[in-house]
Structure 1
């Protein structure tokens, strides 16, 4: 059974959330694509980790041009994933196991197959003519401004029927909704209410800062590079990152809509929102604006820890920046998700240290102040899968190949039984291949093996639940001459010290005068030396102790 971090309406504060990518989790009908019945079947595995909630990536009706992030019906399940009855069964089983259920809400844009867009594009005078972002061309026929699509090329697509351009921040088949229109807001909120009425516990808001655009359609200026920035809008190969996105997202009108959304959720009680904020160097300021005051989002996550750097300096800077910027809001931290290379492959310098890196990463994540997200398969230490071009399904990767391989490498199927076809994911041909190096790390190969990554995750998350400071206690960093990450967590009458060595060299740390460890509390899987207030850490090591 899951162990809920906190009961009541604020269950999300300090919660551990497990992300399920439905296409790749468990297939039960042999079509090579995961489904809702497969999620239900594997819920006991998720609950056994000791997490509090699951987050489901989109399972709505969709032509799947962007793997479900192009929705054509917000209030139904795509047949490839099952039915609404299957969703209800999954939700009931999750709740029986003590798991909250958060679903992805992709409302900044729809599919061009959505009936709303079909009506909107039919003329400039129909009832939904203003439901999407339409604009006239410049006199020379070119796009209204210089805005770019994250998936490559201009963010504007010409439509011959209306003889106008429409805005799309992603694929041209993902037109942006016009949130300046009150009718659009009402329609979107009604789809949220549909799932609230079915009993979901919260929503992960995809691209939560993309809902509004600048009415004047002003050009974005070029970006002045910031060497100290901890988050980027796009990989270096993508020209999207060359603009300062002042006008195509993160507009002030978004605040009032988020208040409306929060008011709706508050009608139901105990519901939560986690917003995805991609806003370059301004991400933390945006998170602060979206989570402050207790009347907007409950929490947000940024891309600060989703990059390649795994150093004491980087992590301290990210966390300290969040403390300064997000004073009365809440952060959700993650090292991996469905959009980035798996962190074992990002952080490990060589294959032989992947297991150690996997263990150290969850130990660190579990001790940060905030809620945390775990992406399916990271509890097995899965590395990124290497794919050939003809195996790619992600339009982002196909567009920027070979400079950027896209997101398929982190989306390959979950591995359950190493001896079965496709490691137990499917009896058919999987939509992405199952690599042997991942198969060997299957759940049944690690279950009950004391030193496995899987069992380390279970022990570490149990450790987190046992210590009140790790749920929502205060956090303060310590400075040492050594290259270590050191901080205290305090709350519920307990004060803990953590010292992380993220380097490949041993480190010896002398605690400051006046600081005394009354009891070493070995973190699962690590055994640093401690004597006379001196900590000796091996490479990729961590010390924990209770302070007086």
Structure 2
């Protein structure tokens, strides 16, 4: 073998190992993707059935929300066995088939590990709550009541009320940052850390390509159980239900995001690095310190590969000024961090509805996502331009929405079944009544209709993803010279081979943009990019993309 071939193989290995850097990840909510058994609930075989469609988008990986054995009080985010598939989703053999078929399609597979808490039906918790001196007595966060019998401090649950639940067996409170049926694990106990690393090793040995790590900054709590301070009204900017949920009245400096977390993340990364080409994507849930924590958690090469950012999942519209603000803060607080951006996911209102975007703006935002520095997460149906579904109260399943209705309708509106065939019963998702009703408004944008229309948003997403992969500056290059002039956002992506100039008019009015001088050429015409030289006149939702080679 000659030196040139060896070099090519080394380059290919590097690309394979760094697939996550600038990669496009397609999030699948398995309950709502494809039902293969006729029980109204999506499953693993349904995902396998649709892998050719996913691969056709040009994405690099899939992220599958939890499918582990669970009582489903929080739809899989309450795990009762980390090493078992819940029967509603299939079997371990079904997952192995999915993994094999995904790899055959060129897709990486990331699974959603929920390590901060378990279900109260997990055997670990059953043992821990039995008494105060069993081998797992300190595997969860237990605390004595105050002298008056009230909880040990003022910490609140995201799902409403106190984060402490009284347990009659131990005559103590246990901590639950989410539902009372989701007790928090005690990461101050090294045995807990070791057990969870064994869980990660189990799935890595099976061949998964990485983890999306749920609520990564919730792992550790303040061991002194100090009270959280109040959060001023003008700082209550949480992504979900900021005004109606009392959780947003506190600055959670003690109940999460503790400094001890970093050492565990380094242990997890060290384990992951024993396997070629695996990646960790951490979800940072902190409305006040998200970017700062992202910087801490992705700093260097011993922590997380990337962190999932919430800045563009907020109700606040993605204006040029806000985008500039986010990237300025990112540069200031976490200049070396590698973010993973998302506009929609399984927890927030779909961004087309949330931001009031028409189809032209949806197309523009898709291109913007593919041009920003960082990796990208697309949520199932986003590529169809799906709006939020309207789910009546009597059909709600989400405990969050049921608790805070009607001011906050919960997360069911973004979790309704995927629409595959417009005219089929239940839009091709299932032959039975689905666990959530199919949205007829969404059905109008079903995959079969979108496939037939070459100008559909579906084909636009394919072209936008292809553009990203065609320019290494857009996948893994630096991002420089970001400016905001009125409603126009401009920036340059660059690497060792090229510069890409990007200009987006994110406002309602027409604006002029001065274009860089020199040997630039227009790209993205098939996406609707404006063809201009010298000065571009951008109407609402228009954009301009230019490239030139580095000399």
CA distance in 2, matches of 1:202, 1:480: 36
Larger deviation, residues 486-495 vs 239-248: 486-495
Per-residue deviation, 1:398:
0.6
Q: Distance in 1 between matches of 2:200 and 2:529?
A: 48
RMSD: 1.6
d(CA) in 2 for partners of 1:263, 1:289: 16
Matched, 1:277 2:279: no
Offset, 1:328: 2.4
Which residue does 1:290 correspond to in 2? 297
Output one character per residue of 1:181-224: Cα deviation in whole Å (capped at 9) or x when no partner: 11111111111111011100000000000011111100000013
SS at structure 2 position matched to 1:195: helix
What are the residue-to-residue correspondences of 1:193-212 with 2, within 5 Å? Answer: 193-212=201-220
For this pair of structures, how many residues does the alignment match? 537
Show structure 1 runs of 4+ deviating over 4 A: 229-234
1: CA distance, partners of 2:350 / 2:103: 29
Instruction: Note the C-alpha offset of 1:539.
Output: 1.1
> Of 64, 80, 86, which aligns to 1:78?
86
Deviations 1:284-337 (A, max 9, x none): 111111110210110001210001212111112112221222222311011011
Q: Distance in 2 between matches of 1:195 and 1:547?
A: 43
Q: Please, which of 500, 510, 533 is the counterpart of residue 496 of structure 1?
A: 500
Correspondent of 1:521 among 523, 534, 546: 523
Would you say 1:310 and 2:310 are equivalent positions? no
Residue 357 of structure 1 is aligned with which of 353, 361, 371?
361
Aligned to 2:417: 413
SS at match of 2:449: helix
Q: What is the distance in 2 between the residues matched to 1:157 and 1:48? A: 47
- 1:398 is paired with a residue whose SS is helix
Alpha-carbon deviation of 1:436? 1.0
Distance 2:66 2:309 in 1: 19
Give the whole-Å Cα distance in 1 for the aligned partners of 2:428 and 2:13: 31
CA contact (8 A) 1:232 1:241 kept: no
> Unmatched 5+ residue regions in structure 1?
none
2:446 to 442, 448, 453: 442
Shift of 1:6: 6.9
Partner of 1:543: 544
> SS state of the match for residue 305, structure 1?
helix
Q: Secondary structure at the match of 1:463?
A: helix
The one of 49, 52, 64 equivalent to 2:57 is 49
Do the aligned residues in 2 keep the contact of 1:16 with 1:53 (CA within 8 Å)?
yes
Q: Pairwise mapping of residues 190-269 of structure 1 onto structure 2 (< 5 A)?
A: 190-225=198-233, 232=239, 235-269=242-276
The equivalent position to 2:182 in structure 1, one of 161, 174, 199, is: 174
CA contact (8 A) 1:231 1:304 kept: no
Stretch of structure 1 that moved more, 457-466 or 326-335: 326-335
Please tell me whether the aligned partners of residues 110 and 208 of structure 2 are also in contact (alpha carbons under 8 angstroms).
yes
Of 114, 131, 139, the match for 1:131? 139
> What CA distance in whole angstroms lies between the structure 2 residues aligned with 1:232 and 1:322?
18
| In 2: Cα distance, 1:480 partner to 1:301 partner | 24
Structure 1 partner of 2:161: 153
1:120 match = 128
Deviates more, 1:61-70 or 1:312-321: 312-321
Deviation of 1:511 after TM superposition, in Å, equals 3.2
| 1:36 and 2:44 are equivalent in the alignment | yes
What is the rounded CA distance, in whole Å, between the counterparts of 1:316 and 1:42 in structure 2?
Answer: 37
Question: Is residue 2:359 matched to residue 1:344?
Answer: no
Out of 511, 515, 524, the position equivalent to 1:511 is 515
TM-score, normalised by the number of residues in structure 2: 0.95
